[in-house]
Structures are given as C-alpha cells and as structure tokens.
Amino acid sequence: MTPVMHAPDLAPRLRTLLEQLPDDAVPITYQQAAEALGLTPPRTIQRVALALEALMREDVAAGRPLVAALVVSRRGDLPREGFFELAVALGRFPADPARHEAAYRQELVRVMALRG
C-alpha cells in the first residue's frame, strides 16, 4: 500500500503544476489537480485543499499573489469556501463575504499577470 502523501510533500509539486500549466488551461478544478498529481483515494480533494492552504500561507508570507486562486470548485468558477476563509484569516481578503468574489477576481488577475 502506498503511503498517503501529506500536504508539506504535496505543496511544492502542486505549485510546480500550477505554474507550468498554460494560461488557457487554468483555472483547474480540485479534481483535475488531484488527477494531475496522480493522487489516489482516500481523501484526494482534502489533500489538494491542504496543499493549497500551505501554498496560500507561503504566498502571503512572500508577498506574492495566491497561486491557489488557480484552483476552483467544479460547481462553479470559484474556489471552495476554505480558500476564502483562509484568505480572510491571512489578511488578504476582506472579512465581508459579499466582497469575496470581487477580491477573488482581483487575485486571479494578479496571479495571471505574474505568470505572463
């Protein structure tokens, strides 16, 4: 049985994946990220989410745009709620949920500008 890869091991691989995807291939879904990283159950989406959280902390500490903005829910074109909760906790997004989508769209523009 293959050991479950934990977020600290997965985060650098996920960053590389997100940075190397062509602009027209992003954003991707959590499931697409899990598949691209070769993750197998159990808890594939949870492991991607934990790795994304680690990347968010790194990006805020380094003053970079949140590369995690390149991963969205398959139920729409926004990240899952945990992304917004952590972005608020890290001081990157406003606390008012009514302003989250606009803040996300601005963050996505910043990430895409950094890629190009």
**How many folded domains does the chain comprise?**
1
What pLDDT does 27 receive?
96
Return the closest-CA partner of residue 28 out of 41, 38, 14, 39: 14
Q: How far apart are CA 56 and CA 105, in angstroms?
A: 16
Tell me the pLDDT tens digit for each residue of 75-106. Answer: 889 999 999 999 999 999 999 999 999 999 99
* Cβ neighbours around 49 below 10 Å, total: 22
pLDDT(1) > 50:
no
What pLDDT does 2 receive?
42
Tell me the pLDDT tens digit for each residue of 33-63. Answer: 999 999 999 999 999 999 999 999 999 999 9
> Which residue in this structure is represented by tokens 């952590």?
86
Structural domain for 91, as ranges: 7-115
**Residue 39 falls within a domain, yes or no?**
yes
**Residue 1 falls within a domain, yes or no?**
no
pLDDT(5) > 60:
no
What pLDDT does 76 receive?
82
pLDDT(13) > 60:
yes
**Residue 2 falls within a domain, yes or no?**
no
